[in-house]
Amino acid sequence: MNLKRMLVGLVILNAVVILGAGLVGLLLGLAPDLAFGEVGSSIPEGIVRWGFLSAAISVGLGAIGAGIAVGLVGAAAMGTIGERPELLGRTLIFVGLAEGIAIYGLIIAIMILGRL
């Protein structure tokens, strides 16, 4: 039952992150000239919209992957610390590596937005 509660909370948190990133991408894709002040851009408007959408998807999927990874690795880390407290430092390294997945998604989004 506790695992079910944790998974429901994780799904809700990830849904909020994805919807937020998608909303930002949608708003910027519909009106990029308002967001950046570039009215006479040489890139076609459709490509700019797809670029913003792809950046939002990369951040959203990166956040989902990081949320799932941190949930699983964090649970395993807490179990390990409960049995052997001297392994605290090593388990924090694995949790940090799991959080890096979201950073990779953000870096890809920044690279995509830099090309627009």
C-beta of residue 91 within 8 angstroms of C-beta of residue 81: yes
**Of 89, 38, 45, 97, nearest in space to 73 by CA:** 97
Residue pLDDT tens, the chain, 116 long:
566 666 666 667 666 666 666 666 666 665 555 555 555 567 777 788 888 888 888 898 888 888 888 888 888 988 998 999 898 888 888 888 888 888 888 888 888 888 87
Chain centroid to CA 40: 31
| Domains with residue ranges and CATH for the chain | 16-25+44-115 (1.20.20.10)
Joined together, the tokens standing for residue 11 give 């799904």
Which residues are CB-neighbours of 44 under 8 A, at least 6 positions away?
A: none
Which are the contacts of 48, defined by CB distance < 8 A and separation ≥ 6?
A: 29, 32, 41, 116
